[in-house]
Structure 1
Amino acid sequence: MHFDPNDRQSLTARVYEHIREDIIEGRYANGAYLVETKLAEELDVSRTPIREALKQLELEDLVVSIPNRGVMVQGMSSHDIDDIFTVRYLLEGQAAYWAAERIDAVNLARLTEIVELMEMYTRKNDVANLARLDTEFHEVIFSASDSRILRHILTSLHRNTRQVRVNSLSTPDRPSHSLSEHRAIFEAIERKDAAAAKDAMESHVRNARKRRSAEGEAPDAQ
């Protein structure tokens, strides 16, 4: 892999995103050590952006620096995932409520497009595109809520559970159930029914927690 070494800010950001994605998707096992020189060689960059990226990841508790040993992957534990869904339940309903009140024409058009694409990819059982659209759907709502704080918190939480969504959408019947839940949220926002949007979003997240308890696995796609 090659990154443009002339764009320092973009270089560090891309290196950070690449390593972060590998951690979230489990390419680096929890407890594994990340070696700067090896990462620099793999990504064809100097050690400086690697070091800066690892510092940023440590601030997110995805890695931890161990004196005299190096940087160790912490990743996302089952407890972490459970915490994420608890926080999402508490906050995403409010984001949907505000989105119904504040959404503009651009974001509404994008939500409409996303739901239409979800319908098409559900028929095709295209898990990769469904997972991508799932993320986009929620991020549009975060943006439409017009709350910088909620957008920042919830976007980060969603990114940390991307692989969970992919895994869940691979299970039988989950894509169609997910589509129904997203459509209910969208329709409430479209008609500017803030209370219904909040209820639909909370039900959506609550259902994931119920499935997690029933299956004894990470929460389902959102």
Structure 2
Amino acid sequence: MKSIIENTSHSLTMRVFSEIEQAILSGAYSAGDQLVESKISLEFGVSRTPVREALKQLELEGLVMTIPNKGTFVVGISTEDIHDIYTIRVAVEGISSQWAAERISEEQIKELENIVELQEFYSSKSDILQILQLDTKFHEIIYDISGSRILKHTLASFHNQLKRARESSLLTTGRTISAVKEHRAIFEAIASRNPKKAKELTELHIMNARDNIMLLLNKK
């Protein structure tokens, strides 16, 4: 019985955590907004315990900050954070593609190619939502192929934190087309099992994405 109660509590905490996290990353909550336990517990229809635990987890993620005797406030993702995340991604994603090129199977080649072909199709239709979802899938498959659990966890977290910035970037005229072309080139390098080229093309792809996003942010 105790185990069931603990599992239920953990599930509620994760649900509250995930929804607040997405609200922060999507911009529904702005930096400086206060998160009140009692209000959130009413919104979710849960007790204050899972809300309190979720807020602690969000603080560990650096998305909120608790000030004694004042409350919990949204920190969010700053322009500097975005730049730093992309700079780290340049190095780490390059390694993921390098390892993927060394380890990819024929079945995985077909899976990755299918994603690229779908991106090319939806790019011709200017369907940004589908392209964004496929962009995430493309990188997730490469993380899987790399074979590193730590690398996959780290990069998946970065991708999630950058969701709103990536949406803005792909909405930019010309970036969607160039991003899909870059994915095609990365795929071909990985499929031909060329680790050096796969690494270099991926690093260039992430740098291009970073430069495009920073240009957009600096205009605001």
Q: TM-score scaled by structure 2?
A: 0.91
Residue number in structure 2 paired with 1:152: 153
Matched, 1:217 2:217: yes
The corresponding residue for 1:66 is: 67
Gaps of 5+ in 1: none
Q: CA deviation at 1:208?
A: 2.3
- Which residue of 2 is the match for residue 10 of structure 1? 11
C-alpha RMSD of matched pairs (Å): 1.7
Q: Where is the helix percentage greater, Structure 1 or Structure 2?
A: 2
For 2:106 and 2:58, the matched residues in 1 are separated by 36
Matched residues, number:
213
**Cα distance in structure 2, aligned partners of 1:43 and 1:127:** 31
Q: Which whole-Å CA distance do the structure 2 matches of 1:25 and 1:101 have between them? A: 36
Letter in 2 for 1:217: L
- Residue aligning to 1:20: 21
Verify: 1:162 aligned to 2:163, yes or no: yes
Alpha-carbon offset, residue 216 of structure 1? 5.1
1:92-131 correspondence to structure 2 within 5 Å? 92-131=93-132
Residues 31-54 of structure 1 deviation map (CA, whole Å, 9 limit, x = unaligned): 111011111121222222111111
Tell me how far apart the structure 1 counterparts of residues 105 and 54 of structure 2 sit (CA, whole Å): 35
Give the CA deviation at 1:105. Answer: 4.3
Residue equivalent to 1:180: 181
SS at match of 2:46: coil
**1:211 CA drift (Å):** 2.8
Provide the residue aligned with 2:77 in structure 1: 76
Matches of 2:105 and 2:14, distance apart in 1: 30
**Percent identity, aligned pairs only?**
47
Q: What is residue 56 of structure 1 aligned with on the other side?
A: 57
For residues 216 and 167 of structure 1, what CA distance do their matches in structure 2 show?
A: 8
Does the residue aligned with 2:72 lie in a helix, a strand or coil?
A: strand
**Secondary structure of the corresponding residue to residue 75 of structure 1:** coil
Contact 2:97-2:195 within 8 A present in 1 as well: yes
3-state SS of 2:132 partner: helix
Helix, strand or coil at the partner of 2:217: coil
